[in-house]
Structure 1
């Protein structure tokens, strides 16, 4: 009933509740009738999609017609909901639970800082709600209970979203999710109330008053959580990966992750959340990375800058918070900023507190560099306390007071200003909390001392999910924590991601919901006094501070931080390989623009260029000539300096690529698995499907891979996990890179081999040997496993879906079979790629560059044998026809009509195989690729993937895919 809008509307009217006016449509004609009834603006929501996929707000008829067709295509049942757009209204969410005795409780109230019109997954949210009066909140609470009863949720939880007009107070029900949702996870972490666990017990017949509260051990689940702190969630976007995409936020979710921070005040929680985002920001600006330096704007230009910032704020986007600060610094009134943004004045007032305090601190510095002696005279203890209570980091204070970060730390030590660690207790301190789930605050003088006699180890988490660093690393952190506890250690987890398992309070002996920055980790170490810290399971996030932790006297367990730094430093890494006769493609390092062409000529085109110290291939590009290099340096590389060099590697074209995961105890090294990429070298390893065991690897090459991997483990003193990437072409094996940490493939390899390699690595880090654990190499598996990636292309318009060296996938799936074809077909289906069946037939579009045509010939021939028709662009069509494969000609986009776009829109194409070459304009490819994703058509952009897909299509035709359990592998 909740998903059927007509039934939901009737149900709400039956209990006297208001919902936005609207109706369903399955065609443009249906939609036009709704348009005539409602007028503009309108919001379009495709049915049965998550994250608002295909949704949009429209303001004119042309836009309406276009978005209707887009929305219908995105809905799995071809249906859209068209409603009046309540843009600018305040948005709230209540997490509600009900049991079989009709007891209802509100677990958490959540307020969206951004107004309606921005998807709640893209909105900054705050818990508990901040701007409702008690009377308004009680009215909303009563309405939520009516909704959950009327819809018929007999037991379990629901998320109910409300819209409230900021002036009239009109309240409408936006939607209800009668299930655990994205907001449920946030509410669970914000309150300490485990919603999913309680929902499972309610489904078994328990009442809320029969389920004990694990945190207080005195109350039950019918006790509504009370919060004496503020929780702020900020989404994590990766627009830098998609420069062509419109960054304005709307009804379709565009973020790929989020962070959560807890503080005693909104400013404290907000600034903690900002420095948790892994964007290099240490709070709300004031960290040396502000795009606009308001203090340096000439007086006669202030009006122009104000107009520009007002224009920027008129449309919600990922940088809104920073532009809010700029607007307030330029003396825009709170009421004017609220009117422009639709954000409640209360939130803007809170941000103004930060801005006003910033002005006070800048005045103290007076433009001079400060030493500790100076600061002791000018910065009082009370002023420093106030700064920390507003969430200012040491980095921000050092920037504002023009001193070193260590000076601020010394000043805090002098005044004994340290954070307190307070429990998330569900009861606002009314009862004692027995669960060690903590957040830091400077708003209280209470200290928490650890008196445990257990040896303790801190595991640093991976922060927010983003492209290049996702849930795979959280898997590693969770299993490391569980292993530490099994081995008798006090396991301490630090992370700031509410979407993860690692931030469940029962995974570790103690959980700190904190940013993973040097300041925050040192403060936790001061309280916990750990025997060591593990940094190798959280991806790049903990590695950034590994050397600094060692410098501060913290024992980093496992692979030495110096080895980690040497592997990250391309120059040092290359020198070590060269000194030990380990082959690597020719490379060079550019420290200024003038060196670039000279280094590129020495290395030899084509080349792979990238900034140093990046994860996920950020700003990495294949360049084929000097002109392309100059363009890259102008547009992508940014500043090129000795501190920010650009790396240039020879690009090995048409090579096989392999990923190798291994574990070492410091003496012996065991290979966990060898994965062969389906896509050729040049496609980022995180974007390539891969197979274990490898499907084309000779015994000789395998032995070389094993030998080189073991040698690297020895050279870099690896203790724990490591990953090595190899390229193989023309009987030559090259080492592309080596990461002395857990890789994103470890969860996949662990499941495919039946061995939990993270637990093995953790025991190695604790000093156990592989021999004592009985761990041996076993690379011959009884099954074939394929990892396929999931892309966010359907969420973005104007995107180029063709793969390259910069990672853009946001997730992955796994298929298991007895053959590679069976495993690959399962993986493709799991990823939402629906290959055409030979029984159904249909048309396949093929457009192949000249270098790929010989390899394409047997694929095309087999497709016709399976009953498919082929259409192709001119060069490909002539080649196929000349070689005995029948293919029909079709125009490229700008050549004539009907072209490939027309054929696709008419429903004549089932699958597309399109391989571009080099630095062409990509216009046709981009337009065709984007339409393919909009129409849910299978698009294949590399020949290796086409070969694998052909095998999967043949396998689908045999109709006998069988499930294989992970237990069968062990």
Structure 2
């Protein structure tokens, strides 16, 4: 039997709608398909995609814009037997529907994996999906598709305000608006019709204030189904689920409520003939127990990544096996799991909390009010024995300056202002809720104002009670033990006691108040299985043992924030892969549940911990590594760990260090090279493209190679090489020149090559630059080996990189596209004609 070929549709540039979770899913699913004998093809244009560069997962990487024309051309080039659209989010579903309408899928007899074509059409059209759910007797909110204001008003008169207006087939990011009166309706209808490619909008009944529940289920091709997770969002309907604090397992539901929603999710998944993952969202009216289905996503997303990470269930691996044709009963996961782990529903003896991360430090003028449109860029996970512990751990990685700033502003609010912010929530509302508790609001009052279940205010009140007790008793050992068991960080305790953090650490050491690690696995200890995923708590039994030597511990870069996008994860993932291939036992510490660095193929052990020095120190005490790699942006970790990490080599993972003021009115050219401490290995010259906003040149858009005369190219190579040779440490470097209008050049600065450029050049040159850097640092490359490693694997083509910003999603019009606001990136290869 000939090897089957599968075309994977990528997700494109990172955006407000998705981050690293889709690339992480693509890497794991593709790796499994390849192991099962499939030939894998991936089309994507994300320069920060790790999967595109990884031969372990992808046989043919097609770096092309995600358009119908390019997908059709790729099909004609590779003739795949199947296409997998569930790794590219909603955009991939819309793209595949358009590709199908060309007739090529039928003509070439191409199968769709995961979802039938009819299901894709229903997911893309809420009206069609609504009819299917109606035929199943599934309760749904009222919805109508209209193309004018009069019909929209008629719908509102039937269901009443508030209502939600959405664009059908939106031109850009999905557009929607929560409407409370007739004036808002007029504006929403006009905007929605402009945003729609079909000139239509949907008018939907709003269920604002109801509890939001998210259920993840799995189904195989023979109809066997299982529930992976039942997640409860703390914030009610009316706030986008991605902007809410999510808790797993659900804390406040009755068993019959869980079972009824579970049965409904199963019925929908069965009817839509989904194979693999399905994420169903519900609105629950706890006053009467009635629920509504509000959304169905039969593809990977941020919630499925959180569910898999929090339960320890190998979701992406299992889905890869299902796509390859196996059943849940047939799947035998790799060593560590018991025989029927894939078909056994996960249970938990711990609590996980997902905390959103906001972009407003870089975008202070953006509207922070939360609504139905997503505004967060990333997420952090906190895992503990209790909800309180998980909550403390989830917020401990917030920058201390940001926390202090928020608390200071809240103290200045009047009671009326505070009430308005409770009713109309803003980003970071957790701190607002804690402020309200400090002012004496009761749980019932806050539940009435926020529609948040009173149970969660009991948890927040416990957090506040611990902090208040600490304030009155500096140095109390019993309170320190209690605070640590509840998840408080040393830094937070030190701030309350007005002590140096080192003094709290010394007190813990003196009284032997140390972390123990628990293995996070999906049977809650019922079966003898080992996921090698750990979280810390303060109990007696420690389940983590040292890894065999040699061991390398890598500190992740945490949640997706504006700046580098996921180019940080790209570098770290390549670092893990290189260390693994050179015989190291790889250990990752990260609190971003969406990160590709948490893939089991890359890291032998994974610690879900805040990226704080005390947590990292505890991992080092267990693992005794030879090497520790830390992102340069976490310079405080390097300073704090240096004195205690004896006999451990500490190395920095490079970070984007280009100053934000590097925006000039004349062209910029950058000489890029690798320096081994003695010799310079040129990697070419990039040119910054001109911004269309203010006609300045900046590194948010680049071309490779720069268009220079042979004389100018030789000049920059010579001057750039001289500047790099004066650097003290080996590494990837970049020398930036101003290309003056009179034809001369002025050297502007020498810097470590920023991570976005590393990712871009790696794909253009077909070189694993992060891996080469790691090998050089490990002493595994001499001069001859470096020369061989830096030979491009194939023809080097002209290419363009453009950064992607969140301005449109956040309704920002006049914001400047600077490097500290980058969210994602796109790239494409060009012909000579494209430069004319």
Q: CA deviation at 1:267?
A: 1.8
Match status 1:790 vs 2:801: no
| Partner SS state of residue 241, structure 1 | coil
Residues 184-199 of structure 1: pairs in structure 2 closer than 5 A? 184-199=304-319
> Of 443, 446, 463, which aligns to 2:558?
463
Q: 1:764 aligns with which of 767, 773, 776?
A: 776
Is 1:454 matched with 2:546?
A: no
Bigger Cα Rg: 1
Q: Mean Cα displacement is larger for which, 330-339 or 673-682?
A: 673-682
Match of 1:666 in 2: 677
Deviation at 1:341, TM superposition (A): 1.3
Give the drift of 1:24. 1.1
Q: Note if 1:175 corresponds to 2:295.
A: yes
8 Å CA contact 1:652–1:727 kept in 2: the answer is no
Q: Using the TM superposition, give the Cα deviation of residue 615 of structure 1 relative to its aligned residue in structure 2, in angstroms.
A: 6.3
| Paired position in structure 1 for 2:813 | 799
Counterpart CA distance in 1 for 2:771 and 2:381 is 28
Matching residue of 2:158: 37
Q: Check if 1:164 corresponds to 2:284.
A: yes
1:342 to 422, 445, 451: 451
Deviation, 1:362, is 0.5
Q: Is the 8 A contact 1:216 1:434 kept in 2?
A: yes
Question: Is residue 492 of structure 1 aligned with residue 601 of structure 2?
Answer: no
Query: 1:329–1:798: structure 2 CA closer, same or farther, 3 Å change rule?
Result: same
Query: What residue is the counterpart of 1:810 in the other structure?
Result: 823
1:545 counterpart (618, 627, 637):
637
Quick check: 1:753 aligned with 2:762?
A: no
Pair 1:290–1:496, CA change in 2 (3 A): same
Q: TM-score scaled to structure 1, two decimals?
A: 0.69
Asked if 2 retains the 8 angstrom alpha-carbon contact of 1:684 and 1:807, the reply is no
- What is the deviation of 1:500? 1.9
For 1:363, the equivalent position in structure 2 comes to 472
Structure 2 SS opposite 1:717: coil
Q: Are 1:275 and 1:515, in contact at CA under 8 Å, matched by a contact in 2? A: yes
**1:725 aligns to 2:817 (yes or no):** no
CA contact (8 A) 2:658 2:754 kept: no
- Unaligned stretches of 5+ in structure 2? 1-121
Give the CA deviation at 1:60.
Answer: 1.1
> Which of 397, 415, 418 is 2:511 aligned to?
415
1:205 aligns with 2:297: no
Q: CA RMSD in A?
A: 2.8
Number of paired residues? 710
Distance 1:532 1:200, change over 3 A: closer
Alpha-carbon displacement from aligned partner over 1:250-288 (angstroms, at most 9, x marks no partner): 11111222222212211222222223345755xxx5x68
Q: CA deviation at 1:225?
A: 0.8
After TM superposition, the score normalised by the length of structure 2 is 0.80
Using the TM superposition, give the Cα deviation of residue 204 of structure 1 relative to its aligned residue in structure 2, in angstroms.
Answer: 2.9
Contact map agreement 2:629 2:651 (CA 8 A) in 1? no
Conservation of the 8 A alpha-carbon contact between 2:627 and 2:651: no
User: Is 2:109 the partner of 1:98?
Assistant: no
C-alpha separation in 2, matches of 1:164 and 1:691: 51
Mapped pair 1:290 → 2:407: yes
Report 1:535-684 matches (<5 A): 535=630, 538=631, 540-553=632-645, 557=649, 653-679=664-690
Is 2:717 aligned against 1:702? no
Q: Deviations over 1:374-394 (max 9, x none)?
A: x3xxx12x3222101222111
Range that drifts further, 499-508 or 343-352: 499-508
Q: Give the SS at the match of 1:276.
A: coil
Q: Where does residue 116 of structure 1 map in the other structure?
A: 237
> Contact 1:672–1:757 at 8 Å: present in 2 too?
no
Distance in 1 between the 2:528 and 2:542 partners? Answer: 15
Find the counterpart in structure 1 of residue 57 from structure 2: none
Partner-residue secondary structure (3-state), 1:188: helix
Cα distance in 2 for residues equivalent to 1:121 and 1:686: 32
CA–CA separation in structure 1 for the residues paired with 2:426 and 2:638: 33
Q: Could you tell me how far apart the structure 2 residues matched to 1:732 and 1:791 are? A: 33
Please name the residue that 1:873 is paired with: none
| Structure 1 residue 51 displacement after superposition | 11
Q: Partners of 2:235 and 2:747 in 1: how far apart? A: 48
Cα deviation per residue 1:554-596 (whole Å; 9 max; x = unaligned)?
Answer: 56757689xx9xxx9xxxxxxxxxxxxxxxxxxxxxxxxxxxx
Residue of structure 1 equivalent to 2:423: 314
Q: Check conservation: 2:666, 2:696, Cα contact below 8 A.
A: no
Checking the alignment, whether the CA contact within 8 Å between 1:260 and 1:498 is kept in structure 2 is yes
By how many angstroms is 1:348 displaced?
1.3
Within 5 Å, which residues of 2 pair with 1:516-531? Answer: 516-531=611-626
* Residue aligning to 2:535: 439
The CA deviation at 1:741 is 6.3
The answer to whether the 8 A contact 2:764-2:796 is kept is: no
- Per-residue CA deviation, residues 341-398 of structure 1 (Å, 9 max, x unaligned), is 1111111110110101111110114xxxxxxxxx3xxx12x32221012221111111
CA distance in 2: counterparts of 1:482 and 1:782, whole angstroms: 24
Q: Report deviation, 1:2.
A: 3.5
Deviation, 1:698, is 3.6
| Aligned residue among 613, 618, 627 for 1:532 | 627
Indicate how the Cα distance of structure 1 residues 148 and 201 shifts in structure 2: closer, same or farther if over 3 A, else same: same
Q: What is the CA deviation profile of residues 847-883 of structure 1, one whole-angstrom value per residue up to 9, with x for unaligned ones?
A: xxxxxxxxxxxxxxxxxxxxxxxxxxxxxxxxxxxxx
Deviations 1:311-364 (A, max 9, x none): 222112112111111111111111111211111111111011010111111011
CA distance in 2, matches of 1:519, 1:731: 54
1:87-132 per-position Cα deviation (integer Å, ceiling 9, x unaligned): 1110010001111222110111111111101111111111111110
Deviations 1:754-780 (A, max 9, x none): 111111001011113351424266699
User: In the alignment, is the contact (CA less than 8 A) between 2:664 and 2:698 conserved in 1?
Assistant: no
Instruction: For 1:293 and 1:83, locate their aligned partners in 2 and report how far apart those are by CA, in whole Å.
Output: 35
Q: Give the distance between the partners of 2:723 and 2:559, measured in 1 at CA.
A: 30
**What's the secondary structure of 2:376's corresponding residue?**
coil
1:96 and 1:106 in contact (8 A); partners too: yes
Runs of 5+ in structure 1 lacking a partner? 298-303, 366-374, 569-613, 622-650, 823-947, 952-970
Mark the CA change 1:364 to 1:305 in structure 2 (over 3 Å): closer, same or farther. Answer: farther
**Superposed displacement of residue 788, structure 1:** 1.8
Matched, 1:147 2:147: no
Q: 1:80 aligns with which of 177, 201, 224?
A: 201
Seen in structure 2, the aligned counterparts of structure 1 residues 336 and 32 have a Cα distance that, compared at 3 Å, is same
Alignment of 1:790-939 (within 5 A): 790-803=804-817, 805=818, 807-819=820-832, 821-822=833-834
1:203 offset after TM fit, Å? 2.8
Q: Which has the higher contact order (CA 8 A, sep 6+)?
A: 2
3-state DSSP of counterpart to 2:592: coil
Report SS of the residue matched to 1:73.
Answer: helix
* Secondary structure at 2:614 match in 1: helix
Contact 2:565–2:822 (CA<8 Å) still a contact in 1?
Answer: no
**Cα separation, 2, equivalents of 1:811 and 1:363:** 47
